[in-house]
């Protein structure tokens, strides 16, 4: 298994050139550049007003090791500090080019300039040194979406099994969705590696509790009860088990990366302001972007009802636990965990298949979402101090 | 035997979950279980049943972790749900 060695020492498993737009007005030019050169992907932030959270995401996505070089496209009058953005990304040692559509002289000239840079950068990316890599070089993000009554029985336990083995092999795993873990606080706190982690975890749980309380969400619904879930502890454990059973080695805030191997919890729950409810996660792609921004090379995504989510810069592996959905949406699913429900496979068997696939995809094999062309991203503004660490 | 679709997610668990609708009288055999259990109620897909007799105040384990406390004594093979199990948090908040 080989990866791309970046100048800052980080290892990538993909070799994209990224075009980043800094306001919606520049989106079309950025898109046109990316569409005309294979190997170039587009992402960006739509707002004209700068947002600390979105800015942090753009910096970390630009620095992401799956990215070889970056072209920043601005309109010219948006408030986001594009010079600072370019400077922060360039601190990773990779090539960063930037253009202002207003200065360059409009759409056609900007697209032409962008295409020239993009072609050069793709050629340069092909020269990137490739090195042997192991689990120790890899960070996985774990997320779920479109869950159903099978999730806690098939997709999540088998993913958790693979996560445990991956960590034993020296790898790093990040999980998130803290508000969905309310109910298993005691168990989570027991798993904290040390007192610092325990205190940070407790602090995050308090904020998550306030958020859940204020929004009146994150409880056992009537539908959950009909499906057989009795308590909030049980429901939360069904979600948590996709992150395995290892001790929690650290708590990350939005945009922070793990400092060593092991299991990390990404706490992106902001403070509840008096006037504004902190937005926790607008959709699954919002969740994937925050995992990428914390350094995840690849995402393990569990589902029951079915998700098609992919990601602009990282492979997403879909693990589906509902046998009906596995059949109906077979082209989207990398791992069929439905056999656990049908009694034809065990958690260990599905977990073993997933672990093998993780290494194959890390080595370059495209995941289903990649093959199908899924390149989603979602970077909203997040007021309410959702990014305290900036 | 192995044809009956149930899952016990951890060896510490004192409940298992039905992976299909199971009628009363179904015999359940699981590894690490001394003898088969007979279901004394219909158990629907996704619902839990007890693997042993459980007394009031005993903890129910799933995923090897407590998910709640028994409120009415439960017999082996009986449906475990809202009528006989309460979450620790919910119990605490009720005082």
Q: What does the pLDDT look like over A255-286, one tens digit per residue?
A: 999 999 999 999 988 776 644 455 678 899 99
Nearest by CB to A228, from B46, B86, B89: name it. B46
What mean pLDDT comes out for the span B73-94? 92
Chain B residues with CB under 8 Å of A231 CB are 67-68, 85-90
- Range of weakest confidence among A231-235, B59-63, B78-82: A231-235
Between positions 233 and 262 of A, the ones with CB within 8 A of B are: 233-234, 237-238, 241, 245
Q: What does the pLDDT look like over B11-47, one tens digit per residue?
A: 999 999 999 999 999 999 998 888 899 999 999 999 9
Q: Is the pLDDT of residue A390 over 50?
A: no
Its pTM stands at 0.95
Q: What does the pLDDT look like over A290-306, one tens digit per residue?
A: 999 999 999 999 999 99
Q: Are A342 and A357 in contact (CB under 8 A)?
A: no
Q: Is the pLDDT of residue B9 over 50?
A: yes
Q: What does the pLDDT look like over A113-139, one tens digit per residue?
A: 999 999 999 999 999 999 999 999 999
What mean pLDDT comes out for the span A45-52? 93
User: How many angstroms away from the CA of A187 is the closest CA of chain B?
Assistant: 7
What is the pLDDT, as a whole number, of residue A202? Answer: 95
* Cα–Cα–Cα angle for A69, A75, A76, rounded to 5 degrees: 100
Nearest by CB to B63, from A186, A227, A237: name it. A237
The position carrying tokens 């004209």 is A48
The per-residue pLDDT of chain A, averaged, comes to 93
What is the pLDDT, as a whole number, of residue B1? Answer: 40
The position carrying tokens 């009554």 is A149
* Burial environment of residue B73 by CB neighbours within 10 A (0 to 12, 13 to 18, 19 or more): middle
The band of A389, judged by pLDDT with boundaries at 50, 70 and 90, is very low
Cα(A274)–Cα(A216) distance, integer angstroms: 17
Interface test with B, best of A159, A219, A228 (most B CBs within 10 A): A228
The per-residue pLDDT of chain B, averaged, comes to 93
CA distance to A114, A137, A173, A299, per residue, from A170 (Å): 40, 8, 10, 17
Q: What is the DSSP letter of A192?
A: B
CA distance to A89, A172, A176, A265, B61, per residue, from A303 (Å): 34, 22, 16, 20, 24
What is the pLDDT, as a whole number, of residue A177? Answer: 86
What is the pLDDT, as a whole number, of residue A281? Answer: 80
Answer yes or no: do A234 and B68 touch at CB < 8 A. Answer: yes
What mean pLDDT comes out for the span A199-216? 84
ipTM: 0.95
Cα(A185)–Cα(A265) distance, integer angstroms: 13
């Amino acid at each position: 298994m080989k990866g791309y060695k970046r100048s800052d020492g980080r290892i990538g498993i993909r070799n994209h050139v990224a075009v980043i737009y800094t306001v919606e007005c520049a989106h079309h030019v950025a898109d046109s550049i990316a569409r005309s050169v294979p190997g170039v992907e587009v992402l960006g932030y739509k707002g004209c007003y700068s947002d600390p959270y979105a800015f942090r995401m753009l910096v970390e996505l630009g620095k992401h090791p799956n990215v070889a070089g970056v072209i920043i496209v601005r309109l010219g009058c948006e408030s986001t500090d594009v010079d600072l953005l370019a400077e922060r990304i360039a601190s990773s040692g990779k090539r960063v080019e930037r253009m202002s559509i207003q200065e360059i002289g409009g759409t056609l000239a900007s697209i032409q300039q962008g295409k020239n840079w993009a072609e050069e950068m793709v050629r340069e990316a092909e020269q990137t040194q490739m090195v042997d890599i192991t689990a120790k070089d890899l960070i996985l993000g774990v997320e779920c979406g479109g869950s159903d009554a099978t999730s806690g029985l098939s997709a999540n336990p088998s993913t958790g099994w693979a996560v445990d083995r991956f960590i034993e092999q020296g790898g790093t795993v990040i999980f998130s969705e803290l508000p969905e873990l309310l109910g298993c606080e005691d168990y989570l706190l027991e798993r904290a590696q040390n007192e610092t982690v325990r205190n940070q975890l407790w602090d995050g749980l308090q904020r998550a509790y306030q958020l859940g309380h204020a929004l009146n969400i994150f409880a056992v619904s009537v539908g959950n009860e009909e499906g057989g879930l009795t308590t909030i502890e049980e429901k939360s454990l069904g979600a948590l088990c996709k992150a395995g059973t290892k001790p929690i080695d650290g708590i990350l805030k939005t945009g922070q990366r793990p400092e060593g191997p092991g299991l990390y919890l990404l706490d992106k729950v902001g403070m509840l302001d008096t006037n504004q409810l902190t937005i926790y996660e607008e959709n699954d792609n919002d969740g994937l972007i925050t995992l990428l921004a914390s350094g995840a090379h690849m995402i393990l995504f569990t589902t029951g009802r079915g998700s098609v989510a992919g990601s602009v810069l990282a492979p997403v592996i879909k693990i589906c636990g509902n046998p009906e959905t596995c059949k109906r949406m077979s082209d989207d699913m990398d791992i069929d965990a439905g056999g656990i429900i049908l009694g034809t496979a065990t958690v260990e068997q599905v977990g073993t298949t997933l672990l093998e696939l993780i290494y194959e995809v890390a080595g370059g094999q495209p995941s289903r979402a990649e093959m199908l062309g899924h390149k989603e991203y979602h970077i909203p503004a997040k007021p309410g101090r959702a990014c305290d660490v900036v | 035997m192995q044809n009956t679709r149930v899952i016990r997610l951890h060896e510490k668990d004192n409940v298992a979950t039905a992976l299909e609708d199971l009628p009363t009288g179904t015999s359940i055999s699981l590894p690490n279980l001394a003898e088969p259990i007979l279901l004394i109620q219909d158990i629907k897909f996704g619902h839990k049943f007890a693997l042993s007799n459980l007394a009031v105040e005993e903890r129910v384990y799933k995923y090897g972790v407590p998910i709640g406390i028994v409120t009415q004594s439960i017999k082996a093979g009986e449906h475990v749900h809202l009528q006989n199990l309460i979450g620790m948090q919910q119990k605490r908040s009720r005082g």
